[in-house]
Amino acid sequence: MSASFELLKTDTTTAARRGRLQTLHGVVETPIFMPVGTQGTVKALTPAQIRETGAQIILGNTYHLNLRPGAELIRDLGGLHKFMGWDGPILTDSGGFQVFSLAKLRDIRDDGIVFQSHLDGAKLFLGPREVMTIQANLDPDIAMVLDECPPWPCSREDCRQAVDRSYRWAQQCKQIATDNGFLGSSRHVFAIAQGSTFDDLRREAAESLTALDFSGYAIGGVSVGEPEPEMFKQVAATAPFLPAHKPRYTMGLGTPPQLLKMIALGVDMFDCVHPTRVARNGAAFTPDGLINLRNERYRADPSPLVAGLDNYTCRHFSRAYLRHLVMANEILASTLLTLHNVHFYLDLMAQAREHITAGDYSPWHRAWIERYEAGARQE
């Protein structure tokens, strides 16, 4: 199965990769960050504003969209692209992680997961057929398989069971996507390699899923509570055993330094609610760390969030004005800070691509992280 992924360059001193992924709704240049549109919206931004940030692809959440307003309704109204007014590529996750993190009660079986809705407690079921049918109704460019995300920490026996079950579900998901025509319409299905903290199980998961020839591969089960060094260790234990000619995606990450370190380990795609969530809490990313605009020091600060950064917020507004909006609980604060934070992430990815191409990614990303972390310590 071809994902139309072209590996353009690999860094000589790290595993960083510069690539290009062709989807039905456009080309995605990698490494790339995907803003999260959980319920058919990147919170506080219009689709036009999302475009202005430089977003190439966004993420939608299968679990939430199926609960509300319903995948069949979205299908009947023309699919998720038309429903939310976004004409670029969309990736939808399987919903499995939300079941594990949000459901009040759940029962993991070999055929799927029985769980209670976090909205009203209704008893629901997600198996490979349900997940792939829902995603076919949403009609994204990239659909994720259903997997079992083991908690941290977990026993080797529990992890073994999760890896085996995830493999069987991946097989079924691919077959269902083939049978229902999803894969025959220039769309892609990505598998998810689990394995928790067990290096041999991570390698086994990566190699067994590679043999199934998916369009791309995600490294799952990271950033689920483990210490940061362990998180990097898990990615480093998985990425080398994923095919070089397919995109690699680490789910649910992270801070700017984490993204740059993951790129150095060979990861191509990321998503995270972090930039939008911290924006709604009055904070903004800068090359010198995250700043909290509630701090008194910004009350009369005439400077932009980041001098020279070409987004609407930095071009037009001072830190003092943005702080005023935050302190007054004005809705505009969420919009302006979200626009800035998402653009900051995407501009960072653009810089990473440039430095991989130039051949100096290793010294550049180390210097960038050093500056960011030094500034964060002073905030």
Residues 296 and 198 in one domain: no
Q: Give the bridge partners for 29, in sequence order.
A: 20
How many other C-beta atoms can be found within 10 angstroms of the C-beta atom of residue 240? 12
Residues 192 and 92 in one domain: yes
pLDDT at 153: 93
Residues 195 and 59 in one domain: yes
Report d(CA 255, CA 173) in Å as an integer: 31
Q: At a CB cut-off of 8 Å and minimum separation 6, what does 370 contact?
A: none
Residues 208 and 307 in one domain: no
Report the percentage of the chain scoring pLDDT > 90.
Answer: 90
Residues 112 and 245 in one domain: yes
Residues 19 and 84 in one domain: yes
Pick from 272, 297, 312: which residue ends a domain? 272
How many other C-beta atoms can be found within 10 angstroms of the C-beta atom of residue 120? 7
Buried b (16+ CB within 10 A) or exposed e, 178-208: eeeebbeeebbbbbbbbbbbbeebbbbbbeb
Residues 174 and 262 in one domain: yes
Pick from 249, 272, 295: which residue ends a domain? 272
Residues 289 and 225 in one domain: no
pLDDT at 1: 43
* Helix-then-strand count for the chain, H and E: 15, 17
Task: Report the number of distinct structural domains present in the chain.
Answer: 2
Report d(CA 127, CA 152) in Å as an integer: 23
Report d(CA 28, CA 5) in Å as an integer: 9
Pick from 272, 292, 325: which residue ends a domain? 272
Residues 35 and 53 in one domain: yes
Residues 151 and 244 in one domain: yes
Residues labelled as active-site residues: 93, 271
Place of tokens 């995300």: 149
Q: What is the pTM of this model?
A: 0.97
Report d(CA 360, CA 82) in Å as an integer: 41
* Structural domain range at position 181: 5-272
CA-CA-CA-CA torsion sign (340, 343, 347, 348): positive
- CATH code for position 225: 3.20.20.105
Residues 23 and 172 in one domain: yes
Report d(CA 244, CA 231) in Å as an integer: 21
Residues 190 and 337 in one domain: no
Q: Which residue stretches of the chain have pLDDT < 70? A: 1-3, 103-104
Torsion, CA 343, CA 346, CA 351, CA 354, rounded to 10: -130
Report d(CA 49, CA 316) in Å as an integer: 15
